Amino acid sequence: MEVLNFRMPKGHVSLAFVLLILGILLSTSFNTHRHLRRSTTELRKKGLIEVVKDLENDRNVLKDQLQDLSTDINKFEEKAAAEEGVLASFTGELKSQKLAAGFLPVVGPGVAVTLGDSPQIPAGKDPSNYIIHDYDLRVVVNALWAGGAEAIAINNQRLISTSSIRCAGNTILVNYTRLASPYKVKAIGSPEKLIESLNQNYEVKPLLKGYAKALALSIETREVSKHKLPAYNGSIGVEYAQAIEKEN
Amino acid sequence: MLPLFGLIIGIILGLVLNIPIPPAYVRYLGIAILAALDSSFGGLRASLEKTFEDRLFITGFFSNTLMAAFIVYVGDQLGIGELYLAAVVAFGVRLFRNLGIIRRYIF
């Protein structure tokens, strides 16, 4: 020590000692801070890892929910499709019923029978013999039904189940609508069968063959390959008739 | 040369030993370092002024360092965290004054 002290400037030993301790303090502090930084980043990392795991869990739950929901949607869609099928069959049934009942305009082959009053009534003769009467139309229509007509209209008045053809003074009422000569009776069905039915009907035959000529009534029957019949456009009030529910 | 060696060896020792300091005491370590720096510069200045005295320097170093840490500790315990700032300012002022004096001696 004596030698050292002699060679060293005064106090350098203690200064060195103090600086050594200072160095230890400095590097310790440095290390600590570095460690702290790292640990905070590690802590952060840990937190982030947990966040990621949580989010992954959430995502899995949501995925499951999505799957459940899409299966539900599929079920509902199938159900809807089935219901739509039911609805479609109902609609189809309704359409065929309406078609049969005369509530839809129809088109098809058939016959057209035109019945017109005599243009001139000879003097001194009963004029009622020279005009077309409601019963003339009735027999024609009846014959047409008998011939398998599926739809009949007189002067665009479609005949339905409650239609009547009756006389009202000088005119003929069909569906409560006044019709005047000439009466065009259109029927849809097999043209041959309808013609045959008309020609063989014991009430129509004399009308077509005999009276028409004798009384100068203009009665013409012709086959039609395609003609249109309108829908029934009146009201239907079923007041007294009640449907009978099927008995078990 | 010897003081410089001391500093370098100290730094290496500290790095190698890697003494763990709990995060709660980092503040005390910091203020202790500030005090130690102040003492070191004080010593340097004293040696330049030829008024250096071993005993005074060593005791001053340790008492300053420990007392600084202790005062900050007491401040924290009493809820006066600002005591830390007071110590930093006091040591900082002294540090720069010492530095200034040293500079005047060197240049």
Contact B39 A9 (CB under 8 A): no
Stretch A3-24: mean pLDDT, rounded? 72
What CATH number does the domain located at A107-229 have? 3.30.70.1880
Contact A23 B50 (CB under 8 A): no
ipTM surpassing 0.85: no
Chain B residues in contact with chain A using a Cβ-Cβ cutoff of 8 Å: 2-15, 17-21, 23, 26, 29-30, 32-33, 36-37, 39-40, 43-44, 46-47, 50, 52-54, 57-58, 61
pLDDT in tens, A111-131: 999 988 888 877 777 777 888
Any B CB within 8 A of A15 CB: yes
Peptide bond into A182 cis (omega under 30): yes
- The answer to whether the beta carbons of residues A194 and A148 sit under 8 Å apart is yes
DSSP-assigned letters across all residues of A174-243? ETTEEE-SSEEEEEES-HHHHHHHHHH-TTHHHIIIIIHHHTT-EEEEEEEEEEEEPPP-S-----S--P
Among partner residues A9, A19, A27, which is closest to B6 by beta-carbon distance?
A19
Cα angle B48-B50-B55, degrees, rounded to a multiple of 5: 105
pLDDT in tens, B10-31: 889 888 888 888 877 888 888 8
Measure the CA–CA gap between A128 and A117, rounded to whole angstroms. 10
